[in-house]
Chains A and B, each alone.
Chain A
Amino acid sequence: MTALSELVEETQTYFCLDCGVCTGSCPVARVFPDFSPRQIIERSLYELEEASDGTIWNCLTCAQCSVRCPANIDFPEFIRRMRDEARTLGYDGTPAHNGMLQTIMAIQTQNIHQDRTAWVPEGQTATTGDVFYFVGCRPFFDVIFRDIDAGAIGNAANVLKLINRCGITPVVSNDERCCGHDALWNGNEKKFKQLATINLEVIRASGAKQVVFSCPEGYYMFREVYPRYFGELGFEPVHILDFLSARIDDGSIAFAGADGTVTYHDPCRLGRLAGIFDAPRKLLKAVYGTQLVEMPRSGPNSVCCGTSGWMNCSSCSKQIQVERLNEAAATGAHTLVTACPKCQIHFRCTKAAFDIDIDIVDLYDLLADRLKVQAD
């Protein structure tokens, strides 16, 4: 059996009805007509798809196609495996930022002693305990994207402030690694497994029973993907939005109101892939009430921020981002709220390059700012 027919067998793409819903739904196909998920599937069935097909690297793995596919074909998973196979044959996508982020991930697979927690205020974290705060790649984004004022580490401090305010002193570790999301979707399963193995060791050694995430990709990886590869994790991944939303309900935290109209961008991994749509809206309504307005493409129909896995950032990505920012501005909102460090980076890059008049604010920066200090 060839690698391709094996891939078809395992992802069952032969159930494809050739309906074209995937291509019709795909944000990349809209701006880059050479890219067609339907045609990639079709060619694979006739064994005509080639690992040399450069368009396989353009997929954002955003799952807009797969949630709508009448035959339940998991196109992002199909493309991931296709990339893994293509990589073994020497093909690759075009890494963004000259591959700097892929290099950081590769270095993190090694036995290194990182120094990535200098931002932590004294006494706010622990080395062992029930709750682990998985910070994600912010310490690196803080350095790399400083010139577009995005990815700042102050945001991690704000997440920590919110966790502390709930009466928890979480573990934050210098030994944390990249969650492996990008390695996996870049078609490098081996690198993903190396990173994940170290993360599991580090978290288990801390004794944590819960791991809190603010990054959508990290949460999605730990909740959905790690168990697929490593079985029972021995701890529970929790998204901070669910965590905070439960604490609004029981009255243990509250937020001060603010004026102004805002709209919210659902990140793919948080919304479509992890099913968290309501919690961010509940928190935003706690601050803005009815001044939270929705874009035409929101919730399960939210559009991807245009680049994924630090790969194949192109004029097509920029077009997707410009359209999204204009869509946000057209709601009358003065602020687009993001809940993913990468969405924020991509939108701020585009805002700066195209001079679009809308503020881009991180949800956790906003919440930490409006957190009420209750007289208790």
Chain B
Amino acid sequence: MGDCHYLDGNEKAEKMFSMALELVKLLGIEPERMHLEWVSSAEGGRFAQIATDFTKQIRRLGPSRLKKAA
């Protein structure tokens, strides 16, 4: 943490993420639909793996009941 090209950008992102996670739970949306991971621009392979895993996870969950909202 703090090790961010945009100074405290990742700290802000983490704050935003945890707020969104709490809101999502209040609204009854599966928290598994959200994910936060730190990946540096030099870690292409890792990024691809995380994106693939998360996509699989979302596929397993299926379409959200909120598809029509917002």
Residues of A within 8 A of B (CB): 100, 103-104, 106-116, 139-140, 143-144, 146
Contact = CB atoms under 8 A, between A and B. Distances in A.
B68 to A, nearest CB: 6
Contacts of A107: 27, 29, 66, 69-70
Contacts of B22: 143
Centre residue among A107, A108, A111, A146 by max chain B CB count within 10 A: A107
Interface string B17-39: 00100110111110000000000
B65 interface: yes
Contacts, number: 41
A348 B24 CA distance: 25
A114 B69 contact: no
Nearest to A103: B70
Contacts of B25: 115
15 contacts: A104-B27, A106-B70, A107-B66, A107-B70, A108-B27, A112-B27, A112-B66, A113-B28, A114-B28, A115-B25, A115-B28, A116-B26, A139-B26, A143-B22, A143-B23
A140 B23 contact: yes
Given A103-B70, A115-B28, A110 B65 contact: yes
B68 A115 contact: no
Nearest to B25: A115
A143 B26 contact: yes
Contact of A112 (B19, B23, B28): B28
Interface of B: 19, 22-23, 25-29, 65-66, 68-70
A144 B27 contact: no
Contacts of B68: 110
A114 B65 contact: no
A139 B28 CA distance: 13
A139 B19 CA distance: 12
Closest 4 CB pairs of A and B: A113-B28, A106-B70, A143-B22, A110-B69
A87 to B, nearest CB: 15
A109 B65 CA distance: 12
Given A107-B66, A112-B65, A143-B22, 12 more contacts: A100-B23, A106-B69, A106-B70, A107-B29, A107-B70, A109-B69, A110-B65, A110-B68, A111-B65, A112-B28, A114-B27, A143-B23
Contacts of A143: 19, 22-23, 26
Centre residue among B25, B26, B29, B68 by max chain A CB count within 10 A: B26
A113 B23 CA distance: 13
B28 A144 contact: no
A140 B28 CA distance: 13
A303 B29 CA distance: 39
Contacts of A116: 26
Nearest to A114: B28
B23 A144 contact: yes
A140 B26 CA distance: 8
B26 to A, nearest CB: 5
Contacts of A144: 19, 23
Nearest to A174: B28
A260 to B, nearest CB: 34
A41 to B, nearest CB: 34
B55 to A, nearest CB: 23
Contacts of A114: 26-28
B15 to A, nearest CB: 8
A269 B65 CA distance: 34
Contact of B66 (A110, A115, A140, A146): A110
